[in-house]
Amino acid sequence: MDSERRNERLSAKDDDDFRSLQQKYLMQCWAAQRHYDPVAVEKADGCWIYTTDGRKIFDLRSAHECINLGFRHPKILQAMRDQMERVVYVTDDFATRPTALLARTLAEITPGDPNKRVWFGQSGAGAVEAAIKGARFYKYHQMIKKGPENLSPDMQYPYPYKIISRYRSWHGSTAGAASVSGDPRRWFIEPLTIPGVKHAPDAYCYRCPFDKTYPGCDIDCVEYIDKMIELEGGSNKVAAVIIEPIVGSNGIIPPPGEYYPRLREICDKWDVVLIADETMTGLGRTGEMFAIEHYDIVPDIIVMGKALGVYCPLSATVFSSRIAGVFDDNVFGHGQSFSGHALGCAAALAGINVLNEEKILDRVREMGQYLGDRLKTLEQKHRSVGEVRGIGLFWTLELVRNRETKEPFRKQTDKYARNVLTEIAEYLLREKNIYIPADKFGIWIVPPLIVKKQEIDFIVDSIDEALKIADDEATE
Ligand SMILES: Cc1ncc(COP(=O)(O)O)c(C=O)c1O
């Protein structure tokens, strides 16, 4: 196509009709394309998206939980502008201030000894892949160090490779990350999953996999992992356990307080690496910088993404010194072209400064308490509300057809089927200008961390009205 024609095609008319262009040419994630119907956006600010046809929509999912600090935080935009004037990206054969400072900051603010190493990627999935490789290589190296005469006779595969995950988990859509996920989205890569993934039952007290009630249940769900590791070959076969400290897209599930200290003990007993995937929970979402801090334990590898880069695609895999040490003289066999992107790192550093300067974590705790208290009143009022769960600004209302039997509106395996939850999401968008995810187990309340009290009132009042749709379908 000659340049004149190309310029014609990029004309103002196309600009006006970009919605149709996107509808026609973009491949929407996790969707059949025929009914793709994007809303044209003029701008976004704070917690709100402004559309070209004059609507103002509250983003109750914080743009896939990425935009925690609102859409146009002036300090972060300024830090990005300043960085763009210097250097946007150079390879890691060169050092840049933001990349170096962010690596040090993450080493310091994550739990445990700050003597760590950080790998930067662009997606949560990429960072999970790095964690899996790091854990497996660490275990491989331990085997090498032991010497062949000390290897167990059942060491057929050359190194411990198994990864234990939980059914209610999502770690990303690339092959390794999807394989270690329990979420049905994993099915899209089957049968080409990576070898050795075993799924454990969840720490999900509302629907206890062992039909027990907490407290007084001996936390069988974590003891089960101990048994699993043993039966999967123990230290000779199992490399890592990967967890979302507070499960995100599979139902916002904070486990009981004793769960992670016990899991840490189990991993130590078997010398298995503990990976905490904080892609959704990291950087303040739950009222601590990292959700695992609520449980006061130190994982061996911490993964983060989403909100880390604030407005840039940036993720990080933080390796404790024990794991990182094996790469002092061995190749870290993972990489991505834009790793350590200076602009992304500058945005992330500015974001962490904002979290500190504006005391965002205090705000999350205060607003989270208010939001949680208000949501709990809906439990009494609506027969379709099975349980209100959450912490910080990370909440769900799990909706059920019947409170007694806990029959769900949507089974975990029916991820793409239309149901009452879809109708509630559509109602909230159409009637109340609130955008919430539609495909969850219930209503998901995950606002930007800068949400104001009156915005919380508006959200809860709107959900209160929308729940009539579910109540009509529920039985006493
Ligand atoms: C806990 C967790 N880990 C990993 C990912 C994957 O992140 P990304 O979509 O950036 O690859 C997600 C995405 O939702 C997530 O919630």
Q: Please indicate, yes or no, whether residues 140 and 270 belong to a single structural domain of this protein.
A: yes
pLDDT of 146: 81
Residue 11 lies in a domain: no
pLDDT in tens, 274-302: 999 999 999 999 999 999 999 999 999 99
Q: From CA 339, how far away is CA 335, in angstroms rounded?
A: 7
Q: Please indicate, yes or no, whether residues 353 and 409 belong to a single structural domain of this protein.
A: no
Q: Which domain holds residue 272?
A: 81-357
Q: Please indicate, yes or no, whether residues 290 and 398 belong to a single structural domain of this protein.
A: no
Q: Of the residues 292, 306, 308, 394, which should be mutated to test ligand 1's pocket, given the most ligand atoms within 8 Å of the CB? A: 306
- Please say which residue of 357, 373, 389 terminates a domain: 357
Q: Please indicate, yes or no, whether residues 334 and 419 belong to a single structural domain of this protein.
A: no
Residue whose C-alpha is closest to residue 50's, from 72, 68, 35: 72
Q: Please indicate, yes or no, whether residues 204 and 346 belong to a single structural domain of this protein.
A: yes
Alpha-carbon distances of 233 from 158, 166, 228, rounded to whole Å: 13, 18, 9
Alpha-carbon distances of 162 from 60, 324, 328, rounded to whole Å: 37, 20, 24
Q: Please indicate, yes or no, whether residues 320 and 445 belong to a single structural domain of this protein.
A: no
User: Rg of the Cα trace of the chain?
Assistant: 23
Mean pLDDT by 10 residues, the chain (476 residues): 57 74 96 95 98 97 97 98 98 98 98 98 98 96 82 74 97 98 94 96 97 95 98 95 97 97 98 98 98 98 98 98 96 96 98 98 98 97 97 96 92 76 94 86 94 98 97 92
- Pocket lining: 124 vs ligand 1, CB cutoff 6 Å: yes
Structural domain count, the chain: 2
- Please say which residue of 328, 357, 386 terminates a domain: 357
Q: From CA 443, how far away is CA 289, in angstroms rounded?
A: 24
Residue 28 lies in a domain: no
Residue 452 lies in a domain: yes
Residue 102 lies in a domain: yes
Query: What does DSSP assign to residue 272?
Result: -
The mean of the pLDDT values for the chain is 94
Q: Please indicate, yes or no, whether residues 275 and 375 belong to a single structural domain of this protein.
A: no
pLDDT in tens, 84-111: 999 999 999 999 999 999 999 999 999 9
Q: Please indicate, yes or no, whether residues 188 and 268 belong to a single structural domain of this protein.
A: yes
Q: Please indicate, yes or no, whether residues 94 and 163 belong to a single structural domain of this protein.
A: yes
Query: What is the distance, to the nearest Å, from the Cα of residue 64 to the centroid of all Cα atoms in its chain?
Result: 9
Q: Please indicate, yes or no, whether residues 44 and 90 belong to a single structural domain of this protein.
A: no
CATH of the domain at 447: 3.90.1150.10
Q: Please indicate, yes or no, whether residues 104 and 242 belong to a single structural domain of this protein.
A: yes
**From the alpha carbon of 173, which atom of ligand 1 is closest?**
11
Residue 23 lies in a domain: no
Handedness of CA 125, 130, 133, 136 (dihedral sign): negative
- pTM (2 decimals)? 0.95
**Helix (H) or strand (E) run with residue 140 in it:** helix 124-146
**From the alpha carbon of 128, which atom of ligand 1 is closest?**
4
Residue 29 lies in a domain: no
Cβ count within 10 A of residue 85: 7
Q: Please indicate, yes or no, whether residues 270 and 405 belong to a single structural domain of this protein.
A: no
- Pocket lining: 138 vs ligand 1, CB cutoff 6 Å: no
Residue 268 lies in a domain: yes
Residue 69 makes CB contacts below 8 A (sequence gap 6+) with 76, 307, 310, 351, 354, 355, 360, 448, 449, 450
- Pocket lining: 305 vs ligand 1, CB cutoff 6 Å: yes
Token duo for residue 296: 């006061």
Answer for the pair 51, 39: CB distance below 8 angstroms, yes or no: yes
CATH of the domain at 231: 3.40.640.10
Residue 8 lies in a domain: no
- Please say which residue of 305, 339, 357 terminates a domain: 357
